[in-house]
Structure 1
């Protein structure tokens, strides 16, 4: 894993931090691994995003809509990848963020050889952000694990 994988805030200030990795069947860039994770959507994930949007919108959180299935051939800082802002794009690292008044989320996709790592970090700003992260933090671990299990066969 690249040693310079960033976090959204210093570790002591995070409300959530999760790292998951898998050894791929072949080397991929972080963007290629992202496409592979999105290739076969997890059952129920679209419904989960719709529920998230319906509930969160009542608290002033913008709707994210979920994953589009779009497959750009490249991304650069400032581009959008689904609901994420691309903050950095290198051959071994893709830094994706979503920030609002409740929380800041950073998901980093990194590769080193055939090892692919997803590093997620969240800094909350208020009570709604803390409450939001209770179910989302648990669901995130399950969703990422399920997506990564599919990758070695991708």
Structure 2
């Protein structure tokens, strides 16, 4: 199954007002039974070892700056998929993410049925708050462009 980069075709103002970054990747699978929650669980519920290693390194590097190393917060825990708190959910769309002092982040998983197949789209939205958020986003972007398609491929397995 091939993952394609597509235009981020969602209402960013409703999901993350002011977002300065948006991208989207899409995978078509032979199925008519997958909903957004199950697609998100397949995608974000587990990670390949190389992604876990990169995430551990990221957590080690950002911890001294007081940045969140997961979706953890001081508020009562929300339902999570992987490290991401679920913010909103319908059968066709799951929105997960969190806010931090340097940036706010959303990942949106959309599932659309077309004939005997489904398109699963993962859209990422980011709103930076300061220079550190902009630098962080610039550093992370090349990794993001490799990690998201790799994780999206897990939906087909």
Within 5 Å, which residues of 2 pair with 1:67-146?
78-113=78-113, 114-146=118-150
Partner of 1:30: 36
User: Counterparts of 2:35 and 2:67 in 1: how far apart (Å)?
Assistant: 31
**Deviation per residue, 1:29-66 (Å, 9 max, x gap):** 1111122224763231111111111111111102229x
**Gap runs ≥5 in structure 2:** 1-7, 72-77
Within 5 Å, which residues of 2 pair with 1:41-56?
41-56=47-62
**Deviation per residue, 1:53-96 (Å, 9 max, x gap):** 1111111102229xxxxxxxxxxxx4233332211110000011
**Gap runs ≥5 in structure 1:** 66-77
Asked if structure 1 preserves the Cα contact closer than 8 Å seen for 2:46 and 2:82, the reply is no
Partner of 2:16: 8
**Deviation per residue, 1:88-132 (Å, 9 max, x gap):** 110000011111110000110011110111010100001111111
> Which has more strand, going by share of residues?
2
Name the CA shift for 1:2/1:134 in 2 (closer, same or farther; >3 Å).
closer
| Structure 1 residue 134 displacement after superposition | 1.5
State how many pairs are aligned. 138
What SS does the corresponding residue of 2:125 show, helix, strand or coil? Answer: strand
Asked if structure 1 preserves the Cα contact closer than 8 Å seen for 2:109 and 2:120, the reply is yes
